[in-house]
Structure 1
């Protein structure tokens, strides 16, 4: 893996003790919160590999819940995240999984309330960096370190080109883009990482396109 700066190696400003087990975990939780769009009423988190083995001692549990509460990696409230979640009435549970993951620091986050649910799989790859590898059953690769939009759409000809055309019209540069689908001709998911945060007017224009079902942004 290539690092761009010394901060990629030592990690971000954070609550300790580990960039992989704490900062990365907090970012996984916060991406889940960002995508869900509100504070959930419950969170069930399955932990794999070293996350499952050391999550209590390394603070992975409080970091994940801190992220779900929308705390940044250096927020002192992360230390009391479990107590804060309990005070808010959020039901939290952790499951230690025996399955061997592709990456040792893996968490499956399942959150929801009476109005909806969200499930994602995130891995902490070191130095506070993360990747989201699955979202509601769709395979993807999302770093969580760049602004991005996720576009749920019908798997139809022209849908991808139409979205890319709107971004080009607004001079928005695409850094990474991929498309995942569960079945040909059914639902698909575009994951688009861009260089700058996208204004809501751009999202509204994309939402009006044929075959576009939902557009969600992740801010930097």
Structure 2
């Protein structure tokens, strides 16, 4: 099986509430990953839809699916269709904007989420590539822009520069291969290092990384 699908289940898609694995389950996944990256109390969410998402987001449930993901719901959660109302009941301002121009990340199923609170802002540009599978093609966090080169999984780690190879060794010792490393300096003491992986690290490795790093997000 070629392309970006790793198994037949990537084509069939996951168990979900909604009409479309690309427009609903994939949208939940984008929202969940954005929530993980933000990792703080959410006050507002702006969703910019492009191309296919812009044309069909209301009818295909993309809006409520993204809201459900931002709230941390699973795709098969019975509350998914009410997620926009649930978010607003929790005091989260959520807005959806349709764009007529091409997707800035070059995929028809594009949603760009801007998540904010009083002291933090994160922008996640994601696309749903089919069967509930997603790619995050641009992330803006801590004043830097990161453009991952491939599909998930990946690790975002906030560490000291001298820890880079130690962290890489911890990842590979757990059985994951590091496909690419992207680094962005945050300040004189901290760098954001993204490790693109062939598979998600196991629970023990993730626990060890949490102890070793200032912050870790596994996507």
Category of TM-score, reference length = shorter chain: 0.7 to 0.9
Distance change in 2, residues 1:59/1:140 (3 Å): same
1:19-38 superposed matches below 5 A? 19-38=21-40
The CA deviation string for residues 89-148 of structure 1, in whole angstroms up to 9 with x for no partner, is 11001111222121100111111212312111111000000011111121114645x4x4
TM-score in terms of structure 2 length: 0.82
1:145-160 superposed matches below 5 A? 146=153, 148-152=154-158, 160=164
Alignment of 1:140 with 2:148, yes or no, is: yes
> Gaps spanning 5+ residues in structure 1: where?
208-213
Indicate the residue corresponding to 2:84 in structure 1: 82
Distance change in 2, residues 1:175/1:166 (3 Å): closer
> Gaps spanning 5+ residues in structure 2: where?
none
The structural deviation recorded for 1:176 is 4.4
Alignment of 1:203 with 2:210, yes or no, is: yes
The structural deviation recorded for 1:152 is 3.9
Q: CA RMSD in A?
A: 2.5
Aligned length: 205
Indicate the residue corresponding to 1:215 in structure 2: 215
The structural deviation recorded for 1:22 is 0.3
Residues 171 and 201, structure 2, Cα contact 8 Å, conserved in 1: no
Indicate the residue corresponding to 1:43 in structure 2: 45
Q: Which whole-Å CA distance do the structure 1 matches of 2:139 and 2:93 have between them?
A: 21
Moved more, 102-111 or 191-200: 191-200
SS at match of 1:163: helix
Moved more, 99-108 or 191-200: 191-200
Residues 21 and 124, structure 1, Cα contact 8 Å, conserved in 2: yes
Residues 11 and 131, structure 2, Cα contact 8 Å, conserved in 1: yes
Distance change in 2, residues 1:35/1:2 (3 Å): closer
The structural deviation recorded for 1:72 is 0.7
Indicate the residue corresponding to 2:98 in structure 1: 96
TM-score in terms of structure 1 length: 0.82
Alignment of 1:119 with 2:127, yes or no, is: no
The CA deviation string for residues 156-204 of structure 1, in whole angstroms up to 9 with x for no partner, is 6x65323212334xx3122443233568x99553234334233433322
